[in-house]
Amino acid sequence: MAASPVEEIKEKIDIVDFLRGYLTLSPAGKNFKALCPFHKEKTPSFMISPERQSWHCFGCALGGDAFSFLMRYENLEFGDALRVLAERAGVELRRLNPAEYKFTGLLFELNQVAKDFFRDQLAGSNAAKDYLKQRKLAPGTIEAFELGWAPNEPEALTLHLLKAGYRPEDLLAAGLSFKTERGMQIDRFRGRIMFPIHNHFGKVVGFTGRVLPQFESDKTGKYVNSPETAIFNKSKLLYGLWLTKNAIREAGEVFMVEGQMDMLASWQAGVKNTVASSGTALTSDHLRALRRLADKMLLCFDNDEAGMAAGERAIDLASSADFQVKVVSLKGHKDPGEAAEKDPEGFRAAVKDARPAPEFYFSRYLSGTGRDPRDREFLRSLRVVLAKLGAIPSPVERDFW
C-alpha cells in the first residue's frame, strides 16, 4: 500500500502514457524520446524512462517525474499539480474537504452533460447551422471547439438535467439555470449558439451563448456568460487555450483577440496560436498563463474607438508583463473575425506583418496632427506617446524608440 497520496498517484500514472498527452514520443531502445518542450531544439534530447518513471532532457538538464513535468509545463504550484494528477489517477486527497471535492466534481459533470446536450441540439437546428454557415465556420472547426445550440425554449436543458437525476439546486449552483421573479426555474441560455469554455486542461467549466440575430432584443443581450462558480472565473480563463497552447509554445508567440468568433475564424484561417479574452479585459491572470508558453504577443483589436482603447490597455498590461508586443492591422475590416472570414490569405499576411507597439502609438496619436510645437493638440498627443515609450520595460528597446 502506498505511504502517501503522492506515492499512490505515481504508482497509478504511467509516465509514458501521461507524457503522450503533451509530446510526440518515439521509441529509443527501452526508453522514449521527444523534442524538449522547455527549450528550442531540432534533434530530440528529451528522454523518458518507463523503468524509472522519470524524464530527463540532455539539452537543458531539466528532469523529474510526472509532478515536476506538469508543474513546469503548466506553471502550477505543487498543490495544483497534486489535484490534477489525483483526479487523473482516481486518488482521493484525504486532506481535502470531502463535501467540497464532491461538489467540484459535480460542477464539472454538469457542464459536461450540458455541453453534450447543446452539441446534440445543434444537429437538429437549421437556424443555428445556417448562422454558423453564414459565419463560414467549417464542420471541423465546429467539432474541434464543441460548439452547440441552446433551444429557444425556457426549460429545455433544465428538464433534460432533471430527468437525468440532477437536483434543481445543482443546476442553479452550476449557473445553467436561474429563478425568475415568479420563482420559476428556467434555462440561462436560450436561442443561442453555445461556446463551451474549457479550463487549461480541457474540462468544460462554463459557457458563452451568442443569441441568433432573429432572437436578439434589448432585453436579451447579444452575449450571455456563465456566472462565476467554484470552477468558472472568466478573468482567469482564455478561450481556446486548452486547444492552442502547444501551437503557442511552438511559435513562441500568442495571437490575442477579443471574442470567440474572432478566435475561431483566426484559428480556421491558419493562425493556430490564437486565444480570446472572451469579451473581457485582458488580466494579469491571463498574462501569467500565457507567459509560460511564449514571450511575444500579437494583439488584434476591433477597428473602432472602443476596440482601440481596449487594445491600448492590453498593450500596456502585456508590456509590463515582459511580453514583446506587436499590433496587427485589420486594413479596413471591422474585427479579426471579419478579416479572417473574408480574406484568409490577407489576414495571415497581416498577422505576419504585425508592427511593434510603439508604431501603433505613433499612428494612433500623431498621424492626424500637425507638427507645430505651439499646437496644444499636438503637444498633448506627443506627451501621451512619450509616456508610453517611457513605460517600455526594456532599456534597450526604450532607447531605440
pLDDT of 15? 92
Which is nearest to 260 in space by CA: 246, 242, 274, 281?
A: 274
Contact 37, 249 (CB under 8 A): yes
Helix (H) or strand (E) holding 17: helix 15-20
Which is nearest to 156 in space by CA: 142, 170, 176, 173?
A: 176
Residues 6+ apart with CB under 8 A from 28: 44, 47
Written as tens digits, the pLDDT of the chain (401 aa) is 455 678 788 888 889 989 988 899 999 999 999 999 998 889 999 999 988 899 999 999 999 999 999 988 887 878 888 888 988 888 877 655 667 667 888 999 999 999 999 999 999 999 999 999 999 999 999 999 999 999 999 999 999 999 999 999 999 999 999 999 899 999 999 999 999 999 877 889 999 999 998 888 777 789 999 999 988 988 889 999 989 988 998 898 999 999 999 999 999 999 999 999 987 888 988 988 888 788 899 999 887 777 778 888 888 889 888 898 898 988 888 899 999 999 999 999 999 999 887 777 766 666 665 565 556 666 666 666 656 666 666 665 665 55
DSSP state of 239: B
Count Cβ atoms below 10 Å from residue 78 Cβ, excluding itself: 12
Contact 208, 223 (CB under 8 A): yes
Which is nearest to 119 in space by CA: 22, 207, 15?
A: 207
- pTM, full prediction: 0.76
As a whole number of angstroms, the distance between CA 254 and CA 246 comes to 11
Contact 39, 60 (CB under 8 A): yes
E strands, 10-154, are 26-28, 31-34, 46-49, 54-57, 63-64, 148-150
- Cell, residue 4: 502517501
Question: What is the set of domains in the chain, with CATH numbers?
Answer: 5-89 (3.90.580.10), 104-232 (3.90.980.10), 241-400 (3.40.1360.10)
